[in-house]
């Protein structure tokens, strides 16, 4: 099995060394084994894990969610149905977010139809007027 240093792993994945260190320190990635001289030694499975992290981030997952999912995936008794359930839950969350955004869009479109006088009065209500002595 091929091994690599943190720098090599960073180069192969396009992730900075500082980010790799952060992933390890925060428990997103497991700490790698160390060589006899104390250097971290990464195996090819780290390439898969980092690709998963990058892909999950593109899909909108938070690092906390990614960490939890990686922990689940590393369990011996992880079933494909569990993974499918996680994905289905994410799809439902995305749909809720889409519904919320659509409601915001409708509300903002209504605001654009507000008469100019009402908009002017609204803006004026935010301005501080000086009181005469």
- Name the helix (H) or strand (E) containing 3: strand 3-4
pLDDT of residue 9: 96
Phi, psi of 4 (to 5 degrees): -150, 160
For 79, half-sphere exposure in the C-beta direction (CA atoms, 13 angstrom radius) is 3
Please report where in the chains the tokens 């689940």 appear, as a residue: 72
What residue spans define the domains of the chain? 1-78, 79-127
pLDDT of residue 133: 66
What tokens were used for 87? Answer: 């994905």
For residue 27, give the 3-state DSSP assignment. coil
pLDDT of residue 127: 87
How far is CA 35 from each of CA 3, 4, 10, rounded to the nearest angstrom?
10, 11, 18
Cα end-to-end distance, the chain, whole Å: 84
Residue 41: strand pairing partners = 33
pLDDT (tens, 9 = 90+) of the chain, 133 residues, equals: 789 999 999 999 999 999 999 999 999 999 999 989 988 999 999 999 999 999 999 988 999 999 999 998 888 888 889 889 988 998 999 999 999 999 999 999 999 999 999 989 889 889 877 666 6
The closest of 84, 70, 74 to 28, measured between CA atoms, is: 70
Whether pTM exceeds 0.85: no
Answer for the pair 35, 41: CB distance below 8 angstroms, yes or no.
yes
The angle subtended at Cα 70 by Cα 56 and Cα 34, nearest 5°, is 115
Fold held by 1-78: Multidrug-efflux Transporter Regulator; Chain: A; Domain 2 (1.10.1660)
């Amino acid at each position: 099995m091929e091994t690599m240093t943190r720098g090599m792993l960073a180069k192969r994945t396009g992730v900075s060394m500082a980010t790799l260190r952060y992933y390890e320190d925060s428990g997103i990635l497991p700490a790698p084994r160390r060589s006899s001289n104390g250097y971290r030694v990464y195996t090819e499975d780290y390439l898969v894990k980092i690709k998963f992290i990058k892909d999950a981030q593109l899909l909108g997952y938070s690092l906390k969610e990614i960490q939890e999912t990686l922990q689940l995936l590393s369990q011996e008794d992880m079933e494909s149905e569990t993974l499918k359930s996680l994905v289905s839950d994410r799809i439902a969350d995305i749909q809720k977010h889409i519904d919320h955004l659509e409601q915001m869009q409708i509300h903002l479109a209504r605001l654009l139809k507000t008469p100019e006088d009402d908009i002017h009065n609204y803006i004026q209500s935010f301005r501080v007027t000086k009181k005469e002595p």
